[in-house]
Structure 1
């Protein structure tokens, strides 16, 4: 993906993400690129400085990513320690808890995409619990 700095005929500045330069050109010719401020279809690319990542920035990014992964691992560990594993019955049990048919408690388990969609449509608060390669050891 390429991020372009864009501006419209009214000089409103904004950004857009495209698969390629040709993708921007194709969408622009079809009037699919519009200014989010005024709705103008007369959008052009603005001059941009290239985005260059230095070694120092990469090191900072690696440290931040490592910290984020460790925090996610900590959250997953705490959930597993303090919640009940209900396996494939997750959707059914989450719905029972939500509607007061079962005692309030933390649970985790597995659910299909359709089950997740249905739970969200019913207003059941859920979130995915990440698994990491070392979880399978």
Structure 2
């Protein structure tokens, strides 16, 4: 039975999030989704998400394709594998070719994990929606 793992912020839940989760589900029988904590998001994006962590966890948990939801306290995908021993790691192809994600891929493939980069839904992101909402409010 293949265990699939993906992770994200999942702030301002949108169609891009749904598509990546749907795609991930197609790679195995069980899907674990890691949701980044507010502190982690603040550390790498320089601001906290609009939707608080507990609410983002609950929203992702409610999606029918998701079997389990865990907190993501750091971005280290190999450390996540050490904890969960997933068979498939899935991420949007907007990360393809970046040094950090190529290193994750190299290390994960070395232990037999299938790494999949799926199409990113361009033009749709929580960051752009947040920016657009701020621009319309002014």
Q: TM-score normalized by structure 2? A: 0.30
Larger radius of gyration: 1
Q: TM-score normalized by structure 1? A: 0.30
